[in-house]
């Protein structure tokens, strides 16, 4: 017992720790790390410099907390969680599972990261979860690990996502993955608003904006740069740049086109043609028919051809047996 702390064998504590902490065997707490009170740190844990850890925190064995991370009060980090640098994990968050988290992410209070999906029966959902860099997740966000399938076993979150409170991202979802459009000059390229619920195997392209309380059916796809209005019900695939209200495509989203594809203004004459292109695609019988009809729109200009290529790429990808959402003016 030392300063009301229990220090395990061969543990090295160079940082500042409070009272009533338990430090496991072979754990190393670097200089300039700060740990609060009543924490439980497992065996062979490495806590690097410039890390701040609050009170009542549990960090299980064989975990590394890299430089610059901030861990709030009552946080639990279980085995097999791999953290990058400069992550901020606020109070009452739980991280578990085969979870890999990149750099510069922030998780607001109450986030549950890396648990198995909630389902009837014993399905042993124990795939992986991969989260990229520079993401923001609001209060009480739930992100589940993937289930093992022939298509892969991971839930994948890309970079630069702004996700608000009470969002559910289920098993095997892929959010802001791929290179469908260039990175946006804005701080976040993909926005997921409060109360959004994504079922399993949902794909959301870069630059999409999902309005409050949007619900997406399993295996549905939302293309890059799409704008989904609040309370939308996504049961069919939404092509890139489409604007959705309810269950219909009602137009197109000008902002990502103007910002990401180089159109000079929101009223650029080529930009207006995207609306006709989306209407043509959504009125087609199937993805193959849509691709064929979109060929007539090629050769209208450099940036317009780029938008056309993004839509065709989306149509050429696996549509998971779903039709495109219908267009309604």
56-73, pLDDT tens digit by residue? Answer: 999 999 999 999 999 999
Task: Report the distance separating Cα 137 and Cα 140, nearest Å.
Answer: 9
Question: pLDDT at residue 20 above 70?
Answer: yes
First to last CA, the chain: 73
Question: pLDDT at residue 184 above 70?
Answer: no
How far are the Cα atoms of 19, 27, 67, 100 from residue 43, in angstroms, in the given order? 18, 6, 19, 20
Q: Strand 190-192 to strand 161-163: parallel, antiparallel, or no bridges (unpaired)?
A: parallel
The pTM (predicted TM-score) of the whole model is 0.91
Residue the block writes with tokens 């199937």: 286
222-253, pLDDT tens digit by residue? Answer: 998 899 999 999 999 999 889 999 999 888 88
Q: Is residue 98 within 8 Å of residue 116, measured between CB atoms?
A: no
Task: Report the distance separating Cα 278 and Cα 250, nearest Å.
Answer: 10
Q: How confident is the model at residue 272 (pLDDT cuts 50, 70, 90)?
A: confident
Beta bridge partners of 204: 175, 222
Q: Taken in order 183, 135, 157, 154, is the CA torsion positive or negative? A: positive
- Coil, helix or strand at residue 35: strand
Contacts of 162 (CB under 8 A, 6+ apart): 135, 136, 187, 188, 190, 191, 192
Question: pLDDT at residue 262 above 70?
Answer: no
Task: Report the distance separating Cα 171 and Cα 199, nearest Å.
Answer: 8
Question: pLDDT at residue 54 above 60?
Answer: yes
87-103, pLDDT tens digit by residue? Answer: 999 999 999 989 999 99
Question: pLDDT at residue 13 above 90?
Answer: yes
Percentage of residues of the chain with pLDDT beyond 90 = 61
Contacts of 45 (CB under 8 A, 6+ apart): 24, 27, 28, 59, 61, 62, 63, 64, 65
Mean pLDDT over 183-208 rounds to 84
Tokens representing 300 are 């209208």
Mean pLDDT over 268-275 rounds to 71
Tokens representing 296 are 């007539």
Element (H, E) at 233: strand 233-234
More confident residue, 10 or 274: 10
Question: pLDDT at residue 36 above 70?
Answer: yes
Question: pLDDT at residue 188 above 60?
Answer: no
Question: Which class for 110: exposed (0-12), middle (13-18), buried (19 or more C-beta within 10 A)?
Answer: middle
Q: Is residue 190 within 8 Å of residue 204, measured between CB atoms?
A: yes
Question: pLDDT at residue 147 above 90?
Answer: no
Task: Report the distance separating Cα 163 and Cα 144, nearest Å.
Answer: 15
Element (H, E) at 302: helix 302-316
Task: Report the distance separating Cα 266 and Cα 322, nearest Å.
Answer: 31
Percentage of residues of the chain with pLDDT beyond 70 = 88
Question: pLDDT at residue 216 above 60?
Answer: yes
User: How far is CA 93 from its chain centroid?
Assistant: 16
The pLDDT of residue 123: 61
The pLDDT of residue 24: 96
The pLDDT of residue 234: 96
Beta bridge partners of 130: 100, 156
Q: Considering the domain delimited by 1-68, tell me its CATH architecture.
A: 3 Solenoid (2.160)
Question: pLDDT at residue 148 above 70?
Answer: yes
Cα atoms in the 13 Å half-sphere on the side-chain side of 37: 4
DSSP code per residue over 100-142: EE-SS-EE-TT-EEEEPPP-SS------EEEE-SS-EE-TT-E
Q: Is residue 23 within 8 Å of residue 13, measured between CB atoms?
A: yes
Contacts of 264 (CB under 8 A, 6+ apart): 258
Q: Is residue 25 within 8 Å of residue 9, measured between CB atoms?
A: yes
The pLDDT of residue 62: 95
The pLDDT of residue 287: 85
Mean pLDDT over 302-319 rounds to 83
The pLDDT of residue 1: 44
Mean pLDDT over 8-19 rounds to 95
């Amino acid at each position: 017992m030392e300063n009301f702390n229990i220090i395990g064998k061969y543990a090295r504590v160079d940082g500042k720790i409070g009272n009533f902490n338990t430090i496991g065997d072979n754990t190393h707490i670097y200089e300039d790390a700060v740990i609060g009170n009543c924490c439980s740190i497992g065996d062979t844990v490495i806590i690097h410099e410039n890390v701040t850890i609050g009170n009542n925190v549990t960090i299980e064995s064989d975990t590394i907390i890299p430089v610059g991370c901030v861990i709030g009060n009552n946080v639990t980090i279980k085995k097999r969680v791999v953290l990058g640098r400069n992550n901020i994990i606020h109070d009452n968050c739980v991280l578990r599972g085969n979870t890999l988290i990149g750099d510069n992410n922030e998780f607001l209070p109450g986030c549950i990261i890396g648990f198995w999906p909630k389902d009837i029966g014993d399905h042993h959902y124990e795939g992986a979860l991969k989260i990229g860099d520079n993401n923001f997740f609001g209060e009480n966000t739930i992100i589940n690990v993937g289930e093992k399938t022939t298509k892969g076993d991971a839930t994948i979150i890309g970079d630069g996502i702004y996700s608000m409170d009470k969002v559910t991202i289920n098993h095997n979802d892929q959010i802001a993955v791929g290179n469908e459009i260039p990175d946006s000059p804005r701080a976040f390229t993909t926005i997921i608003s409060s109360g959004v619920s994504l079922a399993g195997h949902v794909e959301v392209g870069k630059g999409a904006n999902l309005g409050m309380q949007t619900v997406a059916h399993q295996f549905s796809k939302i293309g890059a740069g799409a704008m989904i209005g609040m309370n939308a019900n996504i049961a069919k695939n939404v092509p890139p740049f489409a604007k959705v209200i309810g269950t219909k495509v009602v137009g197109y989203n000008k902002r990502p086109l103007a910002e990401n594809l180089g159109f000079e203004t929101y009223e650029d004459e080529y930009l207006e043609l995207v609306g006709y292109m989306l209407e043509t695609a959504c009125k087609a019988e199937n993805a193959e028919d849509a691709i064929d009809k979109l060929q007539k729109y090629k050769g209208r200009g450099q940036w317009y051809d780029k938008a056309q290529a993004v839509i065709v790429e989306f149509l050429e990808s696996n549509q998971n047996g779903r039709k495109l959402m219908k267009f309604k003016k």
